[in-house]
A and B are shown apart, each in its own frame.
Chain A
């Protein structure tokens, strides 16, 4: 879809960037198809696939019945037979009915067939809280899928990264879950190259460089961390890392930063137990123990079911909690 004046002037939202990435890759590669509930005529619940059925027709942008297991299973078959399917699951909680296909099948076919069959598909899933919706519509289930060998897990936070990582995901020979932080779908705009480009899978981004404390985060929490940085004293130098790819994780960037700062805060909105922050903490212990000058601090969601309304605000990490965590770690 041609860019509007507003897009030219002010840049693209996350939604625009993903839409543009999908369109360009569908134009480039006729094996790419989109499928999901209301992705065609309606353009998806968050309107991410708006206009694509009009452009590419109902054979390539397919409205499916309300059938996540069916959507995932058929996508696997399509992918194994040479297509590049991009199924959309409307909210992360609806991965539940598709879980068997995703984890027991998509993730394992390469290994199970010793490389003769692969599943190059990109599962697009809006992810995370902050839109005041209750459970199933606000969860952060990344750890479940990281824990399942054979799935790559991405979570870009900006329009630029979203478009570039989406193209990498579609071209990747293995199944990728592409989590889209729905809270920032339309919350800001950014200049994004009109042509195609890729952002590599497995590379973290240093959002701001620093020497005193390292923060590792991903998804929409990047923005709460940036807000926290504004509230901290000027002379505290914080390095903020946006992980972008959650698996395979860019541990080199994390280790190098922690070796420099000696202090680490991890911010995630997922529940704490057995989460990605647990894994990062363990690996930093294993690799950077002698460099650590303070215990690792984590700001997480609570180990409870994602609540609704006001309690959601208590649940989610926010700038104040992050400031407190950083201050404690810096003072140790």
Chain B
């Protein structure tokens, strides 16, 4: 194929910095690594003046550290269990991205719903799922959060308002808009003041019998950068913008969708916020390696969305240290790229802050937290190990509300039901 003589502006390197295609291919609009401040030698994100995180108590900030360390230790154990073939199927680790889930989830109220894709262990733990239920799910044990019938990609936790991990890339994003829609509906329609025949407002339904007034909520729909290219996201964003529903689309921009670097997969990779503009919503970019920075910027955004009942879109810059899944030779990136990002490791950054700026922890305290988290992860593994496998009769449960034991002709092989003719 020959290069067209007139290049559309969007594909022209001189008008669009994202256009220079490294491999000479016409198909890829390629930006350089513009979308992440390179490893500035371990420096935290730039902070000016008073920031929301200043108002966090020492306990609250130490909780952020603990949450991140727990995820990392948990994921280390998952990697081990996977290598020992205790965990089957797929296993996508969250190592490197901890500040993202922890910073965003700690900016929410407990009953703000969240939904995410399949790289979901971090969100589940940060949202309060027990490490035991999480690990047991991966082991395929009945004590797992989805009865061991789903595995790594199916971390559901309704009591903690976690609407789960989802294996079809992008599919969760319009669902997130629906979660926000339902919250808004409850606050504004079900509970709106109704006027009686005399024109005076009747008591809101939640006043009679008295219960707690519904809160304004914000839903988070997490997605990977690969999901930017799925139609479902764009339909979900359009609906959210059109209807004004308080959902925040959080792009976990770790630069890669399996082996495809973001600039090879999506337009305007150097300035994703532009995607939000088209759908009439606020778009911001956040450095996601520094958890306090995530909190500062994300908390303010959540407050705005809650207040105005509007959607938003966040390009959250992060990085996964491990391969896409446990079987990924990682030929698509250079080792020193990984190493340079690790210079700004989120856990190290926060530790540094707590030790030298807040001075609320000693090195000994940090070690203690690490030990505690290691113990939780190990306990989760032992629990999963010791838990029973689901019984074959579980095959029939949860298809419908009512169990239908004769759903299958092969039932006789597990349940002793015989084909009456044979």
Contact = CB atoms under 8 A, between A and B. Distances in A.
Interface in B282-300: none
Interface stretch (A12-20, A200-208, A299-307): A299-307
A3 to B, nearest CB: 23
A136 interface: yes
B332 interface: yes
**Interface SS, B side:** loop
Interface residues of B, number: 55
Contacts of B390: 310-311
Nearest to A302: B408
A321 B394 CA distance: 19
Contacts of B171: 96-97
A63 B390 CA distance: 40
B264 A303 contact: no
Interface stretch (B93-101, B126-134, B147-155, B339-347): B147-155
B1 A96 contact: no
B392 to A, nearest CB: 4
Interface stretch (B43-51, B61-69, B255-263): B255-263
A42 B258 CA distance: 9
Interface in A285-322: 294-295, 297-305, 307-311, 314-315, 317, 320-321
A221 to B, nearest CB: 13
A94 interface: yes
Contacts of A59: 1, 25-27
B174 interface: no
A70 interface: yes
Given A37-B260, A295-B422, A317 B410 contact: yes
A210 interface: no
A299 to B, nearest CB: 6
A60 to B, nearest CB: 9
B149 A137 contact: no
B260 A66 contact: yes
A94 B332 CA distance: 23
B229 A70 contact: yes
Interface in B273-327: none
B332 to A, nearest CB: 6
Given A42-B332, A134-B150, A324 B413 contact: yes
- The interface centre, meaning the residue of B171, B258, B396 with most chain A CB atoms within 10 A of its CB, is B258
A132 B89 contact: yes
A272 interface: yes
A93 interface: yes
Nearest to A66: B226
Interface in A84-101: 93-94, 96-97
A40 to B, nearest CB: 9
B419 A66 contact: no
Contact of A297 (B140, B168, B422): B422
B88 interface: yes
Interface string B236-277: 000000000000000000000111100011100000000000
Contact of A136 (B28, B167, B389): B167
Contacts of B187: none
A41 interface: yes
Nearest to A45: B258
A137 B90 contact: yes
A298 B408 CA distance: 10
B422 A329 contact: yes
A215 B252 CA distance: 50
B140 A65 contact: no
A93 B168 contact: yes
Contacts of A332: 421-422
Nearest to A327: B422
A309 B419 contact: no
B258 A37 contact: yes
Contacts of B28: 58, 63
Nearest to A58: B25
B212 interface: no
Given A65-B265, A295-B419, A304 B399 contact: yes
Contacts of A324: 413
Q: Which 7 A-B pairs have the closest CB atoms?
A: A309-B140, A132-B88, A65-B229, A65-B265, A42-B259, A66-B226, A302-B408
15 contacts: A42-B259, A58-B25, A58-B28, A63-B28, A66-B226, A66-B260, A97-B168, A97-B232, A131-B89, A134-B153, A137-B90, A272-B410, A295-B419, A304-B396, A309-B149
Given A58-B27, A294-B422, 13 more contacts: A42-B259, A63-B28, A65-B265, A66-B227, A93-B168, A94-B168, A97-B230, A134-B150, A134-B167, A308-B148, A311-B140, A311-B394, A321-B410
Interface of A: 37-38, 41-42, 45, 58-59, 62-63, 65-70, 93-94, 96-97, 131-137, 271-272, 294-295, 297-305, 307-311, 314-315, 317, 320-321, 324, 328-329, 332
